[in-house]
Amino acid sequence: MKPLGEMRVVNVGVSSFADDLRRQGIPVAEVEWRPYGAGDEAVRAAMARLARPAAQARVQAANAEAADRLATGGARWVGLRPAKDAIPGMVDDLILHAGPPTDWAHMGGPMRGAVLGALVYEQRAASLAEAERLVLSGAVRFAPCHEHAAVGPMAGVISPSMPVLEVENPAFHNRAFSTINEGLGKVLRYGANDASVLARLRWMADQLAPALQAGLRRSGPVDLLAIMAQAVQMGDECHNRNKAASSVFARLFAEHLVRGTRDRDAAAATLEFIAGNDHFFLNLGMAACKALLDPLAGIGNASTVWAMARNGTTAGIRVSGTGPRWFVAPAPAVDGLYFPGFGPADASPDLGDSAITETAGLGGFALAAAPAIVQFVGGTAGRAGELTSEMYQVTVGESSRFTIPALDFRGTPTLVDAIKVVRASLAPILNTGIAHREPGVGQIGAGLVRFPLEPFAQAVVALADTFR
């Protein structure tokens, strides 16, 4: 029989028991406990079924497999081609978008603006009005980027002729895709779609992409995880702050760009573009996270989360043990700091596939590594540490590759476990930009947002069903 040793107690429930123990000189830690799933009976029953030792053993083994796949994966930038050539299942009448599945009727302002702009860009319509008629006629199909191994920030719209970054995970030979980040201000991903936006998109396809391709041919595959690991040590969290990663990338790539293009102006324009965009690396980082996480898709019995995404209307997750199924809830409002002249009433609900960074243990899960962004979203360094620390309670483990100097180089909390989320009644924290609810206005602020709890509760119920 295991000895009791020096008695130290964890108390979960009535506080007075803890008080009585402390009075007797016994060290006690209390739990901030809440009924799972806000008291929903189906959630409670599912948690009870999953708690039995036999079921737990299966879950733990499956989650260990998921963690192993994540740890052994890699992410290298290997290509840059038009979406219709690179992305599986990309066809002429398809438009990909961020977040869980949605349709025109349910899309918010920024996403609609981006869709219309993309249709004009594709020359499927001569004007935005015509593009809208085209959509309403049913001639345009929509699908989540996620279901095509792709990710897009904010509206996340990808159309067939847009150049996409191709990122490969050499451990599992899968690829993930994302567009090149347009920069700040009036951009498609915030729903802007006027002539200047489309002109930039054309320039990116005609001038920028070929230059980058030339540089890539010369450099060979670029190890993105190495850049991201350095960036986290330099104050980035790779979601809302990408300045260090973008700088490291530029420094690494500049020579290849110059020598690869052998065109001074093309190289200079490219470098100017990269230097002017603090979030240049974001899309590469997002694709890297997607490449790392896609191999976790179909692991029976696993409660690990392999995707978290929002489309401005709903927020959804996917869990390894329930495969491609989406579990969704209304997209939350972001609690943040607004640029002058804007406020919460102007904001679009949470939007974008960039939550893939949190899913891989970055972004909000690495806040303690990014004091500058914490300030930007209205927090303190102490609060950042708290929020990051909380996330250790809902993840399978810690990152072996992304470590936080301020936490004694502890690995970031990594691989959200849906069962732990429900058990703790504690949802993942995201660190994100805020879009204006109307198309075309752009970013109006940034802040922290809690993913809703309901999708995790639904996922646990579905997972428990597979244990019957």
Partner 1 sequence: MAVASVLSREPGVRRAALFMATPANLELLRQDALLPERPPACGPDDLLIAVDAEDQPAGARAVARADELLSPPPESREESEATAHTLEAAATRVGASLAAISVPGEYAAVEAFAALRAGLHVFCFSDRVSLDDEVALKEEARAKGLLMMGPDCGTAYLHGVGLGFYNAVREGPIGMVAASGTGLQEAACLLHRWGLGISHALGTGGRDLLAPVAGSMSRRAIEWLAADAATGAILLLAKAADASAATQVLETLASQPKPAVACLRGARVELDGVLMQPTIRSAAAAAARAVGGRPPPTVPVEVPSASDGEVVGLFSGGSMLAEAEAVLREAGAGERLGSFVDFGAEAFTRGRPHPMIDPGPRARALRDACQRPGTAVLLFDVILGFGAHRDPAGVVAESLAGAQRRKEVVCIASLCGTERDPQDYGRQRELLEGSGVLVFDSAAEAAGAAALALRRARVGA
Q: Which is nearer to partner 1, 343 or 382 (CB)?
A: 382
Q: Which is nearer to partner 1, 196 or 393 (CB)?
A: 393
Picking from 262, 252, 205, 203, the residue whose alpha carbon sits closest to that of residue 226 is: 252
Q: Which is nearer to partner 1, 4 or 345 (CB)?
A: 4
Does residue 392 touch partner 1 according to CB under 8 A? yes
DSSP H or E segment with residue 450: strand 443-450
DSSP H or E segment with residue 314: strand 314-319
Q: Angle between the 128-136 and 109-121 helix axes, to the nearest 10 degrees?
A: 100
Q: What residues are paired with 158 via a beta bridge?
A: 96
Q: How far is the CB of 372 from partner 1 (least distance, A)?
A: 20
Q: Within 19-78, which residues bind partner 1 (CB under 8 A)?
A: 20-21, 24, 26-33, 35-36, 44, 47-48, 51-53, 56
Q: How far is the CB of 450 from partner 1 (least distance, A)?
A: 13
DSSP H or E segment with residue 290: helix 280-293
- Total of residues contacting partner 1 (CB under 8 A): 50
What's the CA gap between 440 and 150, in Å, rounded? 23
User: In the block, which residue shows the tokens 């008695």?
Assistant: 7
Picking from 331, 214, 336, 234, the residue whose alpha carbon sits closest to that of residue 281 is: 234
Query: Which one of residues 58, 81, 410, 450 is an interface residue with partner 1 (CB under 8 A)?
Result: 410
Q: Which of these segments, 215-223, 248-256, 378-386, 438-446, binds partner 1 (CB under 8 A)?
A: 378-386
Q: Which is nearer to partner 1, 90 or 369 (CB)?
A: 369
Q: How far is the CB of 387 from partner 1 (least distance, A)?
A: 8
Q: How far is the CB of 54 from partner 1 (least distance, A)?
A: 9
Query: Which one of residues 318, 420, 436, 437 is an interface residue with partner 1 (CB under 8 A)?
Result: 420
Q: How far is the CB of 17 from partner 1 (least distance, A)?
A: 5
Q: Which is nearer to partner 1, 24 or 137 (CB)?
A: 24
DSSP H or E segment with residue 17: helix 15-23
Q: Which of these segments, 203-211, 334-342, 348-356, 417-425, binds partner 1 (CB under 8 A)?
A: 417-425
Contact present, 367 and 390 (Cβ < 8 Å)? no
Query: Which one of residues 12, 38, 129, 199 is an interface residue with partner 1 (CB under 8 A)?
Result: 12
Q: How far is the CB of 12 from partner 1 (least distance, A)?
A: 5
Q: Which of these segments, 91-99, 224-232, 292-300, 387-395, binds partner 1 (CB under 8 A)?
A: 387-395
Query: Which one of residues 72, 389, 397, 438 is an interface residue with partner 1 (CB under 8 A)?
Result: 389
Q: Within 191-250, which residues bind partner 1 (CB under 8 A)?
A: none
Count the Cβ atoms, other than its own, within 10 Å of residue 397: 17
Q: Which is nearer to partner 1, 155 or 391 (CB)?
A: 391
Q: Which is nearer to partner 1, 50 or 266 (CB)?
A: 50
Q: Which of these segments, 1-9, 193-201, 269-277, 371-379, binds partner 1 (CB under 8 A)?
A: 1-9
SS3 377: coil
Q: What residues are paired with 315 via a beta bridge?
A: 310, 329
Q: Which is nearer to partner 1, 8 or 325 (CB)?
A: 8
Q: Is 3 exposed, middle or buried (0-12, 13-18, 19+ CB in 10 A)?
A: exposed
Q: How far is the CB of 237 from partner 1 (least distance, A)?
A: 17
Contact present, 357 and 306 (Cβ < 8 Å)? no
Q: Within 93-122, which residues bind partner 1 (CB under 8 A)?
A: none
Distances, alpha carbon 161 to alpha carbons 23, 81, 335, in Å: 70, 9, 36
Residues 6+ apart with CB under 8 A from 296: 66, 69, 70, 302, 304, 306, 320
SS3 131: helix
Residues 6+ apart with CB under 8 A from 237: 357, 362, 363, 364, 365, 366, 367, 369, 370, 373, 431
Q: Which is nearer to partner 1, 368 or 444 (CB)?
A: 368
Query: Which one of residues 196, 375, 393, 466 is an interface residue with partner 1 (CB under 8 A)?
Result: 393
Q: Which is nearer to partner 1, 7 or 136 (CB)?
A: 7
Q: Which is nearer to partner 1, 198 or 381 (CB)?
A: 381
Kindly give the pairing relationship between strand 94-97 and strand 327-330. Answer: unpaired
- Name the site residues for partner 1 (rule: CB under 8 A): 1-2, 4-14, 16-18, 20-21, 24, 26-33, 35-36, 44, 47-48, 51-53, 56, 382, 385-387, 389-390, 392-393, 410, 420, 423-426
